[in-house]
Amino acid sequence: MIALLVVLCEVAFWVLLAAGLALRYVARKPRLGAAVLLCEPLLEVVLLVVTAIDLKNGAEPDWKHGLAAVYIGFTVGLGHHTVKKVDAWVAHRWFGGPAPAKPPKYGMARAVHEWRTAARWILAAVVAAGLLQAAIWYVGSGGEISSLRNWQQKMGLVISINLIIAGGYTVWPKQAPKDAVTDREPA
């Protein structure tokens, strides 16, 4: 049941996003569209409550409970950015808005972009790991918690990968090609 609820929450996320953007741009009701978009965190609250009730009712913690925690964490860390990016893309693609800013390609500006991206992913992984730890404490020492610990290890891997990528762009910044056109005028 928990795995199905995670899938339903993901589908509902995109449905609410589409509805909010349709209200904002097609119906020209930006406040109502924003209100619909603000309902998205309720999906995670419902998932969290149902997961806690399932564990309280004696369900053995397994990969589905871990998946629920990870889904909530990733929605917290990445959801707002995803909504902003999709909003900018929809506004540009169909409603004459400005083109969304592209990430920088070279130098320290690219490194800063990678650190911001890493920060979102790290936040997601930390929230997920925290929820997993809360579930471990909630279940107590008498329950089988190995699947939850496995998810925590995976969150550690997500953090490590993002630190390596961002650190790589910092230590070895990508350089613009020698023949690249620059914004400077010749002197």
pTM: 0.89
> SS3 breakdown of the chain: % helix, strand, coil, rounded to 5?
75, 0, 25
The C-alpha R_g of the chain, in whole angstroms, comes to 21
Token duo for residue 17? 């996003």
Find how far residue 135's CA is from the centre of its chain.
21
Q: Which residue has the higher pLDDT, 185 or 16?
A: 16
Query: pLDDT by residue (tens digit) across 27-58?
Result: 999 999 999 999 999 999 999 999 999 998 98
Token duo for residue 130? 């925290």
Residue owning tokens 């020209």: 28
| Residue 75 confidence (pLDDT) above 90 | yes
Sketch the domain layout of the chain as residue ranges. 2-171
Cα dihedral value 132, 133, 135, 138, nearest 10: 180
Q: Could you give the 3-state DSSP secondary structure of residue 27?
A: coil
